[in-house]
Amino acid sequence: MDINIKKIKKNAYRVSKDRNVTALRVRVPGGEITGDLVDIVSKIANTYGDGRIHLTTRQGFEILGIKWEDIDKVNLMVAPLMDKLEINHVDANAGYPASGTRNIVACIGNKVCLKGQYDTTAFAKKIEKAIFPHDFHFKVAFTGCPNDCQKVRSNDFGIIGMALPIFDPSKCISCGRCEKKCKGLSTGAIKMVNYKPQRDHDRCIGCGECVLNCPTSAWTRDSKKYYRLAIMGRTGKRNPRLAEDWIIWTDETSIIKIIKNTYDYVDKFIDRSLPKEHIGYIVDRTGFMEFKKWALKGVDLPEHSVMKNNVYWSGIKYPGIK
């Protein structure tokens, strides 16, 4: 068959080792899917694939063994998946409209986990609505607390839930459990002074251990949602590195705006001679201050936010590569 490889890749199909067949990547924003939609994935695999489904590292499905000539039929079956998962598209019957921005991943968050500070899936879906479809190679990941079960620091944007602890001294019985747990499990931001806990805001990472372990609920979470934003982590061949913290105690609106602004920045500076270019390499080339200028356009950070003026990354360095 005469295959337009560029077109099918954009349509979320991939070229496989067996050149007679392809594989479809199914997006599942935030990693949450209902049983009826899993049934559709299974039906596609058994009808047009070879029956195998791979669970990807980015919480999606990869349906293997699809024949090239069946792509249009598969796209029709994918339509209800996109509709019910609320994935933006122009023509649902034409399949996925882009493959650059990777599926947005999330830990299970506070739907189940006691340590989760927020609904990670809900926030992931907000980001999905704001940035997909797009052909630029962006990776976004969410985790509900500083335990970072989702390993978000290997992504371009790693978002970590934070709880701002509120203390009610009238409920405190001076048991010292908050101090003990903060010292043993976190950063030691709480110390007992005259039998009352004092919290060092600069050392606090918003983990919520004080809230979870207080027997009288003297510590509670602020009703406002706060996040830590780590940026420009990456895997890959050249200079893999962990994301570094840029802004802490920030909010959803600011994070969404920063990510959307980054698409404008990439559109301006990306090396279009390459098949794709990760954002971090563009930041390395232009300098962080140029990225920062673009990323913060129209952003109004909350009063509690703390932002680093500059960010420095390390990672693995290979000889002879800048």
pLDDT value for 93: 84
Domain covering 5-94 in this structure, CATH number: 3.90.480.20
pLDDT value for 92: 77
Can you read off the two tokens belonging to residue 296?
A: 């913060």
Is domain 165-221 classified as CATH 3.90.1150.10? no
pLDDT value for 260: 98
pLDDT value for 100: 87
What does the chain come to in residues? 322
CATH topology of domain 105-159+225-307: Sulfite Reductase Hemoprotein; domain 1 (3.30.413)
The residues facing 221 across adjacent strands are 165
Contact present, 223 and 300 (Cβ < 8 Å):
no
Q: Distance of CA 36 to CAs 27, 29, 109, 287, Å?
A: 15, 16, 22, 47
* DSSP codes, 227-279: EEEEE--B-SSSS-B--EEEEEEE-HHHHHHHHHHHHHHHHHH--TTSS---H
pLDDT value for 197: 97
* DSSP codes, 58-84: TS-EEEEEEEGGGHHHHHHHHHHHHHH
The residues facing 59 across adjacent strands are none
pLDDT tens digits in sequence order for the chain, 322 residues long: 567 777 788 889 998 888 889 999 999 999 999 999 999 999 999 999 999 999 999 999 999 999 999 999 999 999 999 999 999 988 878 899 998 899 999 999 999 999 999 999 999 999 999 999 999 999 999 999 999 999 999 999 999 999 999 999 999 999 999 999 999 999 999 999 999 999 999 999 999 999 999 999 999 999 999 999 999 999 988 899 999 999 999 999 999 999 999 999 999 999 999 988 899 999 999 999 999 999 999 999 999 899 999 999 998 988 877 6
End-to-end CA distance of the chain: 42
Q: Distance of CA 220 to CAs 22, 144, 164, 176, Å?
A: 51, 17, 8, 16
> Domain extents for the chain?
5-94, 105-159+225-307, 165-221
On the question of a common fold for 5-94 and 105-159+225-307, the answer reads no
The contacts of residue 222 (CB under 8 Å, 6+ apart) are 163, 164, 165, 166
**What is the tally of helices (H) and strands (E) in the chain?**
9, 14
Question: Helix (H, G, I), strand (E, B), or coil: what is residue 111?
Answer: helix
The residues facing 24 across adjacent strands are 13, 63
57: amino acid identity, one letter: T
Question: Helix (H, G, I), strand (E, B), or coil: what is residue 177?
Answer: helix
Give me the helices (H) in 11-137, please.
Answer: 35-47, 71-84, 120-131
pLDDT value for 253: 97
Question: Helix (H, G, I), strand (E, B), or coil: what is residue 129?
Answer: helix
pLDDT value for 1: 57
Q: The whole model's pTM is what?
A: 0.94
